[in-house]
Amino acid sequence: MPFYNLIIRDLKLAFFSSTNFLFAASFLILILILVPFVFGTNVGSFSILFTGFIWISIALSILLTLDRVFNSDYEDGNLDTIILTQQSLELIVCSKFISHWIANCIPIIIVIPIAGLLFEVGIQDILNIILNVLLGSPGMVFIGSAISALTLGSKRAGIYKTIIIVPLYIPFIIFGSNQESGLVLLGLSMTAFVFSLFTSIYSLRLYAE
Amino acid sequence: MSNKLIIKNLECFREERTIFQRLSCEIESNQTMLVLGKNGSGKTSFLRLVAGYLKNYNGKVLFNDNDLQQNNEPLTDFRFIGQKNSLKDNLTVRQNIEMWQLIYHTKKDINKIVDLLDIRMLLNKDINTLSDGQKKRVSLSRLLISKAKVWLLDEPLVYLDLNKVKLLEDIILQHNDTGGITLYTSNTNIDLKYDHLINMDDYAIL
């Protein structure tokens, strides 16, 4: 089915680009390596900091590779090609969401247990964090992709895009750091999905002209 | 297999501005149409409208008696090759072609395509080391990756030297022989063989 093909294509493009799967995971590890130097080793409650840094690195890793979702395909003309194949716009947008989530969030989720053990976070806490990330990070991908679709037509939208997106990430980060609010995150993600799907399709229709 | 594209009294708008009006024409299998016109006369808009990107128009575009404006199905019979090359700079030519194969959902052997367009020696080169003419030829390989009935080529001759223009002409003739239709725009003095001619200046509103 062509829908899977689009996901595979995006994942291959992500793999070939300079900011590939290793980028997201190494980003988290690099941030975590720097933490002890900033706060010293006697802080005691590393596990609270740990959750925070996970969310920050997810937000950054999504934001920094956002150009790959729609912009690069729009600029080189591939979006025209994709729209004319037998895909509905909904499926195109969904495939973009899924591939971006796989490329940027899965590597971080894989690294969390290892990094967590280094920070002496308990197994139960690690599982809770992973659950929260699984529920919350898709929503962050949806919002990021939708805003970047809305700004497709404007050149050099990079900075504005970040300024618009980061405030929208605040709810995810607030509820993400609280270990019992998995359901809230799920709700946020689902709301974000509806909002993002419609905005993305609207912008694709607009900029395809 | 015969196909027919009929365009009746077409009027195209962009952002409330009328680009062209009263455009009618007919084109059948095994025919090529050349779309001429000054810069900004709406050549590209016309091709994009026929390809189905622009929905904001009056008049009718009928392909084999199906009205394209009523039709919400994707237009797989149409292949639009725009002025943008659709190439990823950091990939090789072969990888780029593989990406298009994923988009078009085909696994056709690329050896024949590569020989037809004379890009075999470029296969393992990165796109950013190619010249503009070479990029254009790689970009044209999208025509051959999977079959489409109507080819819409926006300025296909730009950057191509005379030999390569001949090459493209042969490819188009071959496509038309199997029942295909080709529409292309051009600004240069060299032209491919054509059966119909539209001068957008007659319809454009400037």
Give me the pLDDT at residue A83, please: 86
Q: Are residues B86 and A80, on separate chains, in Cβ contact within 8 Å? A: yes
pLDDT > 70: percent of chain A: 96
Mean pLDDT, rounded, for B3-18 = 87
Q: Which amino acid, B185? A: T
Q: Which residues of A touch B56 (CB under 8 A)?
A: 209
**Interface residues on A facing B, Cβ-Cβ cutoff 8 A:** 2, 5-6, 8-9, 12-13, 16-18, 72, 75-78, 80-88, 208-209
Of all residues in chain A, the one with the smallest CA distance to B51 is A84
Whether pLDDT at A1 is above 60 = no
Give me the pLDDT at residue A44, please: 67
Bridge partner list, B99: none
Give me the pLDDT at residue A197, please: 95
Give me the pLDDT at residue B64, please: 85
pLDDT band at A21 (very low <50, low <70, confident <90, very high): confident
> Which uninterrupted H or E stretch holds B14?
strand B4-14
pLDDT > 90: percent of chain A: 41
Whether pLDDT at B146 is above 70 = yes
Least confident of A14-18, A177-181, B72-76, B196-200: B72-76
Is-contact A33 A118, C-beta < 8 A?
Answer: no
Distance CA B138, CA B96 (A): 9
Is-contact B48 B80, C-beta < 8 A?
Answer: yes
Q: Which residues of A touch B103 (CB under 8 A)?
A: 2, 5-6, 9, 78, 81-82, 85
Whether pLDDT at A130 is above 90 = yes
Distance CA B190, CA B161 (A): 10
CA distance, residue B166 to nearest chain A CA (Å): 25
Least confident of A3-17, A22-36, A103-117, A176-190: A22-36
Give me the pLDDT at residue B134, please: 92
Whether pLDDT at A175 is above 80 = yes
Residue B23: which residues within 8 A CB-CB, separation 6 or more? B7, B9, B10, B11, B46, B59, B198, B203
Is-contact B114 B120, C-beta < 8 A?
Answer: yes
Q: Are residues B100 and A81, on separate chains, in Cβ contact within 8 Å? A: yes
Give me the pLDDT at residue B137, please: 92
| Phi, psi for residue B173 in degrees, rounded to 5 | -60, -40
Residue B103: which residues within 8 A CB-CB, separation 6 or more? A2, A5, A6, A9, A78, A81, A82, A85
Distance CA A87, CA A112 (A): 36
- Across chain A, mean pLDDT equals 87
Whether pLDDT at A32 is above 70 = yes
Distance CA A196, CA A181 (A): 22
Give me the pLDDT at residue B73, please: 66
Mean pLDDT, rounded, for B48-55 = 86
**Interface residues on B facing A, Cβ-Cβ cutoff 8 A:** 14, 48, 51-56, 74-76, 78-80, 82-91, 95, 98-100, 102-105, 142
Mean pLDDT, rounded, for B141-163 = 89
Query: Pseudo-torsion of CA B119, B120, B123, B127, nearest 10°?
Result: -20
Whether pLDDT at A95 is above 90 = yes
Least confident of A149-153, B27-31, B69-73: B69-73
Q: Are residues B142 and A16, on separate chains, in Cβ contact within 8 Å? A: no
Give me the pLDDT at residue A168, please: 94
Is-contact A49 A120, C-beta < 8 A?
Answer: no
pTM: 0.90
Q: Which residues of A touch B93 (CB under 8 A)?
A: none
Is-contact A54 A110, C-beta < 8 A?
Answer: no
Is-contact A117 A171, C-beta < 8 A?
Answer: no
- Across chain B, mean pLDDT equals 87
Q: Where are the domains of chain A?
A: 2-208
Q: Which residues of B touch A83 (CB under 8 A)?
A: 53
Give me the pLDDT at residue A166, please: 93
Sheet holding B66-67, edge to edge: B17-28, B4-14, B57-63, B66-67
